[in-house]
Amino acid sequence: MPKSAVYFLVTLFLAVTTLTACTPQTRPDAMTVVQERQVLRVGTLMNPTSYYFDHDREQGFEYDLAKRFADRLGVELEMVPRFDINDLFTMLRRGEVDIVAAGIDRTSTRAQLFRFSPPYDVISQKVVFKQGSRQRPRDLQQITDGEIVVVEGSSHHEFLKSLGDSIPTLKWRATTDHDAVELLRMVINEEIDYTITDSTALDIQRRFHPDLSVAFTVKHDQDIGWALPQSNDDSLYAAVIEYFGEIRSSGRLAHIKEQHFGHVKQFNYVTTSLFIEAVDTILPKYKSLFREHSGTLDWRLLAAISYQESLWNPRAVSPTGVRGMMMLTLPTAKAMGVKSRLNAEQSIRGGARYLERMLERVPDRIPQPDRTWFALAAYNIGFGHLEDARILTEKQGGNPDRWVDVKKRLPLLRQKQFYRQTRFGFARGDEPVTYVGNIRRFYDTLKYLDEQGRL
């Protein structure tokens, strides 16, 4: 080959190489990055409503939502917990996390900075104080006897800043030293006067601190969603939209919400206060019996059932003839080997064995915790009526293996147009719904008090 031709080819090669090196490389989209990494990184807040550890296992409402989404994408989930929402937003902007899932509400300011998923919950924001510590204010203008403390960078902080100087008498400050749950506890301890909190966080904390009292609501119907980076890349964002559409239409979202929050919406100050008082004064007499005879059950669940049944009164008697700590019927007592229903130990042992029998009858395909809620309903109303409600649920297009669906149909067993279709007929189906909800609240309170070393 002539030298001139060789020179030409070398020159052409160098030119092409230089041009290729100068051409901007196309960056992979967010979905491709996640799939190549094989990990979805989700920023969250470490708190009882979003993400926490229970016996070294990851738990929480946001964790369950994120885990299901990661499984859908076929990747591993890495939860990245922080205690400050501002840290999470900074990490999202820097690309250190793919999504922020922390029960955050979509405000106008945040919507300019981030893209939000479709809302998966709606909350309200309430001013809270300790009951009995002061006269209840009806609006912000009436807060003249104290100071509101909120978490810096929170939507509550954003709301107070938006007021400007419109209420000159209002005193408030934002803190980075405490999270929202800690502020609620500080209200109870009278370390601060007021705070603003989301309704879901308040519902959970009132199970342990019934003296948290609502003064008034400052914001209604706030959408809760996941936050993603503000960009032209729609790949991951589109997958999030599709995911929430699927779990909403399939009923899975309602199922997850029921597992975490379905029992906390109903709050009764007197009932909660009396229960916490009974934990201190009555439970110590019987705690060893609950522990000894719990078998495969959590003794705290057994204690919660007993309180719902008899208020921990071994000589309790109902008009229908059930008796004792676990309020056993005579046939049930005989079947469980209980000779005296008014004997506390025999009643607790018999009740525990009977609940275990109900658990064994629940179909194996039903996972926890729904399995336990079904067994509790059967303990209360009988397994036959529970099966009637499950069959009715399936006929109406619901899922008979989900408590959230079945508990909607149980009250229908009172109505002739429905119970005439069933095998076991009429039943006061609303009672097991209340029964299970109360036990879940008592059980949660006992677990919390146990973790605090109060049992």
Which residues on adjacent β-strands are paired with residue 148?
172, 194
For residue 292, the SS3 value is helix
- Say whether the peptide bond before residue 369 is cis (omega within 30 degrees of 0): yes
Which residues on adjacent β-strands are paired with residue 127?
196, 216
Going through 171-298 in order, the beta strands assigned E by DSSP cover: 172-175, 195-198, 212-229
CB-CB contact of 99 with 66 (8 Å): yes
Distance from C-alpha of 444 to C-alpha of 438, rounded to nearest angstrom: 10
User: In the numeric block, which tokens belong to residue 257?
Assistant: 């919400």
CB atoms within 10 A of CB 365: 7
Distance from C-alpha of 58 to C-alpha of 65, rounded to nearest angstrom: 12
Residue 291: which of 282, 300, 283 has the closest Cα? 300
| Catalytic center residues | 309
For residue 429, the SS3 value is coil
User: Which position has the token pair 């509101």?
Assistant: 148
CB-CB contact of 445 with 207 (8 Å): yes
244-250 long-range contacts (CB < 8 A, ≥24 apart) are 244/117, 244/118, 244/120, 245/118, 247/65, 247/68, 248/118, 248/120
Residue 154: which of 80, 47, 245 has the closest Cα? 47
Distance from C-alpha of 309 to C-alpha of 402, rounded to nearest angstrom: 24
Q: Which amino acid makes up residue 282?
A: I
Distance from C-alpha of 378 to C-alpha of 386, rounded to nearest angstrom: 6
